[in-house]
Amino acid sequence: MIDTHYDLLTIAYVAYLKNDYSYLEQISKYFNDKNVTGLIANLYFMSREEMKEELHPNYYRDEVSVLEMFKKSKEIVDLYFPDTDILYSIEGADYIKDPNELEELYNAGLDSLIMCWNTKSKYASGNYSDQGLTELGKELLFKEIELGIGVDLSHANMRSFYDMVYFIKQEQARGKDICVYASHSNSRSLCDRERNLDDKQLEQIKEMNGLVGLLSNRNFVIQPEVKDKATKKEQEQEYIKHIDHVASIIGLDNVMTATDDMDFLRDVDKEYAETAIYKYNEVASKLAEQLNRKYGYETAYNIMNGNVHEKIFNKIRSKRNNKKRGEK
């Protein structure tokens, strides 16, 4: 499996702050055992209060730049996961100083960007606000497209989503080849959570030739009022329904899989840490078996590996490799 959303860079940076790499060692075994062969690894940013409470009191400090945090966490991930195919992402751009720092991050290895988390941002906003894409956000998005960074639409509120879609379509009409996707978003018609995508949003992603990573976290798979009553088998069945429904709109060749496994927060929030439907030590075998039965081997392989590798990994790397020396 290639996981299109996992907070591995954050895990690495917290390990660095604590000087405790035991959790990285634990999950690296799952990767080395080929349960997960590739992923989009995130360094994520929330509100200052949430970062302090959930991650580490020194996770974000004004005197340490996002660029420094990114370089350190990437260095650690590269050390612990040398055989894993990784694209590097930031989730929540609010602490990136400006489009110039984005270029520095790209030069340091940044491949993908989620413009906002749930909170209001100087660039765009998630579901804690009704603010859309700001003027500075348009500058950042333009720089993102110019550099060839993947545009990840997950977490954007409705207004920010459509503002970004409008901007992206304008740039596509000018001939820009943009790698666009929602890395960890499910169907809102099946699970009415604001972070999920409704059918009209999915149609917009299809029009942009984008992809969607279906998130195997029961909080975003099963309706809120029944999610804690569903058996493991029922959770798995509901997850497959999300794949089915999203594929009916954007096509099976544009569907991917994501975990957003939050087990590393077990010490802070044990209940939320146990919301993953497929754990890393079972995801490749169990999910693959279920998808093989439903779609056949070739389609199942593409959902779990081929689509994201061909349309995101290869595309982003090709843009980076094709840049001439000194070209921005």
Summarize pLDDT for 82-98 with one digit per residue, the tens. Answer: 999 999 999 999 999 99
Residue 4, classed as helix, strand or coil, is: strand
Q: List, for residues 108-156, the tens digit of each pLDDT value.
A: 999 999 999 998 889 999 988 889 999 999 999 999 999 999 999 999 9
Provide DSSP, 201-259.
HHHHHHHTT-EEEEE-BGGGTS-TTTTTT--HHHHHHHHHHHHHHHHHHH-GGGEEEE-
Type of residue at 14: V
The pLDDT value recorded for residue 326 is 39
CA angle in degrees (0–180, nearest 5) for 246-42-283: 55
Of 12-21, 121-130, 188-197, 260-269, which range is least confident?
260-269
What are the structural domains of the chain?
2-321 (3.20.20.140)
Q: What Rg do the C-alpha atoms of the chain give, in angstroms?
A: 18
Of 26-30, 41-45, 201-205, 233-237, which range is least confident?
26-30
HEC profile of 248-300: HHHCHHHEEEECCCCHHHCCCCHHHHCCECCCCCCHHHHHHHHHHHHHCHHHH
* Tokens (6 digits) for 295: 């779609």
Q: How far apart are CA 138 and CA 179, in angstroms?
A: 17
Average pLDDT over residues 302-321: 95
Please give the mean pLDDT across all residues of the chain: 92
Higher pLDDT, 279 or 309: 309
Q: How far apart are CA 44 and CA 66, in angstroms?
A: 10
Q: How far apart are CA 94 and CA 117, in angstroms?
A: 9
Q: List, for residues 221-269, the tens digit of each pLDDT value.
A: 998 888 778 898 999 999 999 999 999 999 999 999 999 988 888 887 7
Distances (CA, A) of 13 to 17, 46, 73, 283, 300: 6, 15, 5, 25, 34
Cβ–Cβ under 8 Å, residues 88 and 72: no
pLDDT at 303 over 90: yes
pLDDT at 30 over 90: no
Residue 156 main-chain phi, psi, to 5 deg = -65, 140
Cβ–Cβ under 8 Å, residues 256 and 4: yes
The pLDDT value recorded for residue 313 is 97
The pLDDT value recorded for residue 263 is 84
If you search the block for the tokens 């720089």, which residue do you land on? 143
Average pLDDT over residues 19-44: 90
Range list of H helices, 22-82? 22-32, 48-54, 66-80
pLDDT at 324 over 70: no
pLDDT at 31 over 60: yes
Average pLDDT over residues 306-313: 97
The pLDDT value recorded for residue 224 is 80
Residues forming a β-bridge with 276 = 217
pLDDT range class, residue 276, cuts 50, 70, 90: confident
Q: How far apart are CA 11 and CA 9, in angstroms?
A: 5
pLDDT at 316 over 70: yes
Q: How far apart are CA 218 and CA 277, in angstroms?
A: 6
pLDDT at 25 over 60: yes
The pLDDT value recorded for residue 327 is 45
CA angle in degrees (0–180, nearest 5) for 273-275-281: 80
Share of the chain above pLDDT 70, in %: 98
Cβ–Cβ under 8 Å, residues 149 and 141: no
Average pLDDT over residues 16-29: 93
What pTM did the predictor assign?
0.94
